[in-house]
Copies of this chain bind each other. A is one copy, B any other.
Amino acid sequence: MPTTALHNDVLDAVGRSITSGDVPAGAVLTLETIGSEHGVSRTVAREVMRLLEGLGLVRSRRRVGIVVLPMEDWNVLDARVIRWRLGGPGRDAQLRTLTELRHAVEPLAAAGAALHASDEVRAELVDLAARMRVLGVRGDLEDFLALDIRMHELLLRASGNEMFAALSGVVAEVLAGRTHLGLMPPSPAAEALDQHEAVARAVASGDAPAAETAMSAIVGEVRRALPDRPDEEAS
């Protein structure tokens, strides 16, 4: 809860209604309707609108109102937009594109971590991988998830690239969404546990290429486990 509840509530409500497609592109809102719809004054409706404009969801034009923009204009990399879309009807497609993004970024981030991580981080990664194995074989999905998130976050933050680090929240949300949506097997695949340990070992020993390939295997596996896109070649 960064700011006050008021703005966030209205922002969330309007943002969700747009990203869900409930209010389609081309639709026109006015400050008046936004305000009265949510019981706030025109001033805060304007601030909310500014935020939405900053996210590329709408564009305000004089005399006409606040027009909803098509998806091409959205800041789809923004954490709020991602969260809204993950909560809406496009959830599956969103998970797919995010997983592809992970596939692009996380291997390189792991390689970077192998080069730049502090000794503390290297040690924690090894520890995390070991504990993940324990929880994994036990089938304790919820606690496993927490460690999984922690591990990926650590790697991204230690990558030496703040662009990658900025994606750690997104990755966390993808991981959480995956297990809470029942897209995980009852107990993580042994291969996944192996690969997590491989990444931790590679980072700990500063072997960037090994970290990259191991991480690539992790994400690639997940990607394959996801519902295939309609027109993609059947694997």
Contacts and interface: CB of A to CB of B under 8 A. Distances in A.
What is the count of identical protomers in the complex? 2
Interface residues of A, number: 46
A59 B101 contact: no
A97 B162 contact: yes
Interface string A67-87: 000011011111100000000
A76 B50 CA distance: 19
B77 A163 contact: yes
Contacts of A109: 104
A54 B51 contact: yes
A53 B108 contact: no
A103 interface: yes
A78 B78 contact: yes
B60 A3 contact: yes
A133 interface: no
Given A2-B59, A3-B60, A232-B115, A101 B164 contact: yes
Contacts of A91: none
A136 interface: no
A105 interface: yes
A167 B233 CA distance: 22
Nearest to A85: B162
Contact of A163 (B46, B59, B76, B160): B76
Interface of A: 2-3, 7, 43, 46-47, 50-51, 53-55, 59-60, 71-72, 74-79, 97-98, 100-101, 103-105, 107-109, 112, 115-116, 160-167, 229, 231-233
List the 7 shortest-distance A-B pairs measured between CB atoms, nearest first: A104-B108, A101-B163, A97-B161, A104-B104, A104-B105, A76-B166, A76-B162
